[in-house]
A and B are shown apart, each in its own frame.
Chain A
Amino acid sequence: MDAVPAIRVVDLRKSFGALEVLRGVSFDVHRGSVVSMIGASGSGKSTLLRCINRLERPSAGEVFIDGEPMGGPVTASGERKERPLKDINRMRRDLGMVFQQFNLWPHMTVIGNVIEAPLRVRRMSRKDAIQLAEECLARVHLSEKGKEYPARLSGGQMQRVAIARALAMQPKAMLFDEPTSSLDPELTDEVLTVMRELAADGTTMIVVTHEMAFARDASDRVLFLHNGQIEEEGPPDQVFGQPRSERCRQFLSKKLQ
């Protein structure tokens, strides 16, 4: 195991007003490993992912990407200096995110969606960006759809475009927030297949999912989140085989029946 994890989450806390959603979450994601996050609705999984790339600002705690603190370095006097948005945007490039609702930009073609960030954020030339986008679309098996508008794609295709868009940032890690939850059952497989291929290629991934089969056989570690805390954590065999927590056992038995 390498010394500096790709993502290190330390005592992360987040409240919305009086509602404490995350109550001290810590874990590491090592380079090339896949962490699946499971848990009941409302347990704070989305909030956790959104705090990692700072779409939400954590109330306390810190996230380190390759050892670099997302929130800002601590000064000699022990105070944390909040990073300017510009720096946060730079660090966000290292984290690709895939949303439950795809969130493709409907006014751009498929290729337009994928080249947008390479063009505007990484300032690549158009030619290079298109070449990169074509590689990314090939990885999600959608090479022939570049000129289509999202409205003409199926849900599974849209989600794969969203994955290609995130890959085009050439991120250090990918964050998936229930990528198959808004898909019809017959469309989930094409997305899960792509995700398994990414995992097999050594992509560092955090995957929030209700797909227990994926969590069990595609991930290196499984986290069970309950009420804003990690209630159970371990390799899939252990979490699915002999969970220590009664709540986790109940959750799984409901999911697996």
Chain B
Amino acid sequence: MSEALIDALNPALFWEYRLVLLRGLAFNAYVFFAAATVALVVGLAAALLRVNRAWPFRMLGTLHVEVFRNAPDYIMVIWVHFVLPLLLGKLIGQRIEFSPFVSAVIALGFVYSGYFAETFRAGIQSIPQGHLDAGRACGMGETAILWRIVLPQVVRRMLPEAVNQFVSLFKATTIVSLIAVPDLMYQVSMVTQQEMRPLPLYTGAAVTYFVVIYVVAGSVRGLSERWRNKIYA
């Protein structure tokens, strides 16, 4: 390798700014956890609509899934941050502004709720009718059946797919730098502007994301496999 290349890749600069960058990574984590919560709650609600007996509910659920699954997350982030507050503001006749963090969480949460809704729905529909009948025959109410019999099995079934979706969501958190959420990518570009040395910084960021996702997703997969194996022996 040439001297110039080694020099260009020298991670010393990355290391020097490690605290700033780590704070950025923490922001990725905040956005991730908040958006994942929104995605799970909204996704479950949409899935329950989709398996409802009444067709208007089913249609509403389908509409939700199709809209959000087919919306590019980049556009959604921009739209929620710049357009939605205007619309809402006109609606209530008052100026509204979302903080970048809130916009990012709403946008990514809703986009991913579309994916999670489908995963939940497939999971719910894969539970044998007999399991529900057994609960009813024991005098359990529909809510108890949902929480005690259906969802615990759905969660175990959907885990492998959900882990993949969480990985995508985590990757998607990097686009929030677009609306100035101070995440890792945002910090990297700030430092780059200052130091004029994009190579080690962006490479360092790429390696960091890779390592974090690889390690965390890997261990979650391992844990969930062991947990699932107990019931699908």
Q: Which residues of A contact B (CB under 8 A)?
A: 50, 53, 55, 85-86, 89-93, 95-97, 99, 101, 103-107, 116-117, 120-121, 149-152, 162, 165-166, 169
Tell me the smallest distance from the CB of A49 to a CB of chain B, in Å.
Answer: 10
Cβ-neighbour of B130 out of A85, A101, A152, A165 (below 8 A): A101
Complex A-B: 20 CB contacts under 8 Å = A55-B136, A85-B142, A92-B139, A95-B137, A97-B134, A99-B130, A99-B134, A101-B128, A103-B130, A103-B134, A106-B232, A116-B138, A116-B140, A117-B138, A120-B140, A120-B144, A121-B144, A151-B233, A165-B138, A166-B138
A92 to B134, CA, bound (A): 11
* Chain B residues closer than 8 Å to A149, beta-carbon distance: 230-231, 233
Contact A121 B139 (CB under 8 A): yes
- A146 to nearest B CB, angstroms? 15
Candidate in A86, A97, A103 with the most chain B CB atoms within 10 angstroms = A103
Query: Residues of A contacting B128 with CB < 8 Å?
Result: 101, 103
Stretch at the interface among B100-108, B146-154, B198-206: B146-154
Interface string of B214-233 (1 = CB under 8 A from A): 00000000000000001111
| Contact residue among A92, A104, A107, A169 (Cβ-Cβ distance under 8 Å from B136) | A92
Knowing A120-B148, A149-B231, the reply to whether A105 touches B137 (Cβ < 8 A) is no
Q: Chain B contacts of A103 at CB under 8 A?
A: 128, 130-131, 133-134
In-complex Cβ contact of A169 among B133, B139, B142, B232 (8 A): B139
- A169, closest chain B residue (CB): B138
Q: Which residue of chain B has its CB nearest to the CB of A106?
A: B231
Q: How far is the CA of A109 from the CA of B135 in the complex (A)?
A: 15
**What's the Cα separation between A149 and B142 when bound, in Å?**
24
Q: In the complex, which residues of chain B have a beta carbon less than 8 angstroms from the beta carbon of A85?
A: 141-142
B201 shortest CB reach to chain A, Å: 47
- Cβ of B156 within 8 Å of any chain A Cβ, yes or no, is yes
Given contacts A106-B153, A151-B233, contact A117 B140 (CB under 8 A): yes
CB distance from A83 to the nearest CB of B (A): 13
Cβ–Cβ contact A105 & B134, under 8 A: yes
